[in-house]
């Protein structure tokens, strides 16, 4: 990844591996949300951190994205899902 000379963010060569951190309050609903948004695309989901109180859970989603449109489509789908509180 290289920072764009125009200051508009990184220049990304696609296809490339990409990771999302998906945070919510219910682990099973998070897994369902990820499956719903990503559908048949090959991906892996691994547990990450949990808040000290156990209220929030984080899952890592690793996937190969074919284009910026695909990367943003997945991000927006996860962000808008009611089971998801935060996507990083």
The range of the structural domain enclosing residue 57 comes to 15-87
pLDDT tens digits along 57-85: 999 999 999 999 999 999 999 999 999 99
pLDDT tens digits along 19-64: 999 999 999 999 999 999 999 999 999 999 999 998 999 999 999 9
Q: What total of structural domains would you count in the chain?
A: 1
**CATH code for the domain of 38:** 3.30.70.260
81: number of Cβ within 10 Å: 19
Q: How far apart are CA 66 and CA 33, in angstroms?
A: 21
Residue 1 placed within a domain: no
Q: How far apart are CA 26 and CA 16, in angstroms?
A: 29
Residue 7 placed within a domain: no
Residue 8 placed within a domain: no
Residue 41 placed within a domain: yes
Residue 45's nearest CA partner among 69, 78, 68, 76 is 78
Residue 67 placed within a domain: yes
Residue 35 placed within a domain: yes
């Amino acid at each position: 990844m290289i920072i764009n000379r125009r200051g508009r963010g990184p220049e990304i060569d696609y296809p490339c591996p990409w990771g999302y951190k998906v945070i919510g309050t219910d682990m099973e609903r998070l897994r369902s949300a990820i499956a719903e948004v990503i559908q048949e695309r090959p991906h892996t989901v691994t547990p990450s951190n949990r808040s000290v109180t156990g209220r929030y859970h984080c899952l890592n989603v690793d996937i190969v994205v074919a284009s910026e449109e695909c990367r943003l489509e997945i991000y927006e789908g996860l962000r808008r899902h009611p089971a998801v509180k935060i996507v990083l």
